Amino acid sequence: FHINKSFRDIVKKEIISKLIKEHLEDVSYDAKAFIPVSKIIKTGIIKSPDKSIAEDYIKGIYKGIGFEVCDIDYQELITSPNEHHSSYETYFKGRWYIYTFNRIFNDELIIIEKNGFGHIKSNLEKIETESIEFNQKFSVYATTQTFGFYIITSTMIERLLEVEKMHHGRIFYYLSKNELHVGIDDRKDYLEISLKKPLSQERLSPIISDIALIPAMIDRLQLDQSKFVSAL
């Protein structure tokens, strides 16, 4: 176990860090750091964990858009009916992204994939879009109908469906102030290399794909366009 952990630490520090800096500019990486739980649960779309495991914190700027990313494994304590046994069960495991832009929105928007859980604030209105496919996949809530449709245009619907195809598992979006939170609950450990086989370029390919997802989200959702960049 100690050897595996030591090898993993070396891989993270020497190889993963180098790959991230090769594929992203203005970026920093800390394998042991993470986005604070308080910053994630303030969105209101995910409950506070009884136990939190998080790592692989990446922070940087791409096309003028700031980003923070980390792996999270949020667990709740489950007690058996007879209260003789308790165990932790994972309710969210995957990646959490926070994108920061110049424009500040005073409203809130939540998009949750329908096969997932989610906490919805009582002050938000449910939005039905013009897309049957989108409505079947996602539930949308916003402070007002006007704000909901300002963000969820037909073009944005297409982009969100593209992002959905890029990922397995459940997707959560939360937009407010100058931040877009994106949670991907796909039960995956990102930026991990198995110790069972020798390192090779082919085995690094999934790591590069994990890194590429960070700017891909900005590109697909066009977060660098005027709607998100132009300050009010």
The answer for residues whose C-beta is within 8 angstroms of residue 2's C-beta and 6 or more apart is none
Which of 92, 100, 115 shows the shortest CA–CA distance to 41? 92
Which of 209, 211, 227 shows the shortest CA–CA distance to 60? 211
pLDDT in the model for residue 39: 98
With beta carbons less than 8 A apart as the criterion, state whether 163 and 138 touch: no
> Residue 203 — pLDDT band, cuts 50, 70, 90?
confident
Predicted confidence (pLDDT) at residue 155 exceeds the cutoff of 60: yes
**C-alpha to C-alpha distance for 96 and 56, rounded to whole angstroms:** 11
pLDDT digits (tens, 9 = 90+) for 169-183: 999 999 999 999 999
Taking residues 130-148, what's their average pLDDT? 95
Give the range of the structural domain holding residue 8, as residue numbers without chain letter.
2-229
The H-or-E segment that residue 217 falls in is helix 201-221
Domain count, the chain: 1
Taking residues 19-28, what's their average pLDDT? 95
Predicted confidence (pLDDT) at residue 13 exceeds the cutoff of 70: yes
What does the longest C-alpha to C-alpha distance in the chain come to? Answer: 57
Predicted confidence (pLDDT) at residue 121 exceeds the cutoff of 80: no
Entry pTM = 0.93
> Residue 119 — pLDDT band, cuts 50, 70, 90?
low
Instruction: Provide the residue type at 154 as one letter.
Output: S
> Residue 117 — pLDDT band, cuts 50, 70, 90?
low
pLDDT in the model for residue 122: 77
pLDDT in the model for residue 3: 47
Q: Report CA-CA distances (Å) from 74 to 27, 39, 119, 123.
A: 26, 14, 15, 26
Question: How many C-beta neighbours within 10 Å does residue 180 have?
Answer: 24
Indicate the average pLDDT of the chain.
91
pLDDT in the model for residue 231: 62
The answer for residues whose C-beta is within 8 angstroms of residue 25's C-beta and 6 or more apart is 60, 61, 62
Taking residues 194-204, what's their average pLDDT? 78
**C-alpha to C-alpha distance for 130 and 124, rounded to whole angstroms:** 19
pLDDT in the model for residue 84: 77
Q: Report CA-CA distances (Å) from 111 to 37, 140, 200, 227.
A: 20, 5, 39, 18
Cα-flanking dihedrals φ and ψ of residue 163, to 5°? -60, -40
pLDDT digits (tens, 9 = 90+) for 66-108: 999 999 999 999 998 877 789 999 999 999 999 999 999 999 9
Predicted confidence (pLDDT) at residue 46 exceeds the cutoff of 70: yes
The answer for residues whose C-beta is within 8 angstroms of residue 182's C-beta and 6 or more apart is 96, 97, 98, 99, 171, 172, 173, 217
Q: What percent of the chain has pLDDT over 70?
A: 96
